[in-house]
């Protein structure tokens, strides 16, 4: 179980910028931009949670806070009794995080990229080989594992980045828009990979703008709007609150309700 409570993060605005980045965004005031103001949700073992929201709502900042890539100003992130914000090293050992950029080393092969991060996590050579073979099979990577990363397609790079993020068998998986820019076949492989984590009883959180992915995979949804949790619950509860069986219409209605 991972439980997020009252997460908040602000950034100082440039001295010449007295207004928020968008005039209608209430988060910029007093010389600060409050990117995340009050985000709370939970994700139980075996659940997939979809993190939704308009562009600029605070989704990526929230995920970076969970991964400890950014330091929160307030709130807590507790996983199995451990406050991950208070112990960032423990967080990085427990979490597999895919950021919005792949961050691969271009001169290394796909295999070398994944193995390198496995060694950083202290994995033994035999264990690392077995784990890599398992991931390469699940993500259908065998045809390109020995190609340099700078020669890979977008879909290949994304598969490699996901394998790198989960090579150490994390207790929690966090993915930032994992299917953006992928073709149908590559996206299907990644969605099937995400679904496989339900059987492993591992909480998985991913952000997306594709609500058909949410409908297909998610047990729970958190909608962020203007840096605050606007909704947290099941997809059926979202449909009920939004007054529509169509998830897109329900999502838009919830956003409008929040102003």
Q: What is the CATH number of the domain that holds 49?
A: 3.40.50.300
Whether 259 has a pLDDT exceeding 90, the answer reads: no
The total of other beta-carbon atoms located within 10 Å of residue 116's CB is 14
Length of the chain: 259
* In-domain check, residue 238: yes
> What Å distances lie between residue 187 and 4, 25, 198, 243, CA to CA?
28, 33, 18, 30
* In-domain check, residue 126: no
* In-domain check, residue 149: no
Percent of the chain with pLDDT over 90: 82
Residue 63, domain extent:
2-103+173-258
Burial of 103 (0-12, 13-18, 19+ CB in 10 A): middle
pLDDT of 26 reads 81
pLDDT digits (tens, 9 = 90+) for 53-81: 999 999 999 999 999 999 999 999 998 88
What is the arithmetic mean of pLDDT over 245-256?
94
Query: For the chain, what is the radius of gyration of the CA atoms?
Result: 19
* In-domain check, residue 20: yes
Coil/strand/helix, residue 210: coil
* 40 contacts 5 by C-beta, under 8 angstroms: yes
Whether 17 has a pLDDT exceeding 60, the answer reads: no
* In-domain check, residue 227: yes
Number of domains forming the structure of the chain: 1
In this structure, are strands 28-29 and 32-43 parallel, antiparallel, or unpaired?
A: antiparallel
* In-domain check, residue 245: yes
* In-domain check, residue 9: yes
Whether 19 has a pLDDT exceeding 80, the answer reads: no
* In-domain check, residue 224: yes
d(CA 160, CA 27): 36
Pick the closest to residue 223 from 57, 77, 1, 5 (CA basis): 57
Q: 3-state secondary structure string, 129-142?
A: HHHHHHHHHHCCCC
What is the arithmetic mean of pLDDT over 88-100?
88
Whether 21 has a pLDDT exceeding 70, the answer reads: no
pLDDT digits (tens, 9 = 90+) for 111-162: 999 999 999 999 999 999 999 999 999 999 999 999 999 999 999 999 999 9
């Amino acid at each position: 179980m991972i439980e997020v409570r009252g997460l908040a993060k602000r950034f100082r605005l440039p001295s010449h910028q007295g207004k928020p980045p968008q005039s209608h965004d209430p988060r910029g005031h007093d010389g600060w931009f409050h990117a995340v103001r009050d985000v709370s949700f939970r994700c139980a073992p075996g659940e997939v949670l979809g993190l939704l929201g308009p562009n600029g709502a605070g989704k990526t900042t929230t995920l970076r806070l969970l991964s400890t890539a950014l330091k929160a100003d307030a709130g807590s992130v507790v996983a199995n009794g451990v406050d991950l914000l208070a112990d960032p090293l423990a967080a990085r050992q427990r979490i597999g995080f895919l950021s919005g950029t792949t961050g691969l080393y271009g001169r290394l092969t796909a295999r070398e990229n994944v193995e390198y991060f496995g060694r950083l996590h202290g994995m033994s050579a035999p264990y690392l080989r077995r784990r890599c073979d398992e991931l390469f099979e699940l993500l259908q990577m065998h045809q390109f594992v020995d190609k340099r990363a700078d020669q890979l397609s977008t879909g290949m790079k994304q598969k490699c980045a996901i394998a790198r993020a989960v090579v150490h068998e994390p207790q929690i998986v966090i993915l930032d828009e994992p299917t953006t820019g992928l073709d149908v076949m590559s996206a299907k492989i990644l969605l099937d990979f995400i679904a496989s984590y339900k059987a492993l009883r591992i909480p998985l959180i991913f952000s997306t703008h594709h609500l058909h992915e949410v409908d297909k995979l998610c047990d729970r949804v958190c909608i962020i709007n203007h840096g605050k949790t606007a909704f947290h619950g099941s997809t059926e509860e979202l449909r009920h609150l939004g007054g529509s069986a169509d998830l897109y219409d329900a999502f838009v209605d919830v956003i409008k309700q929040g102003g």
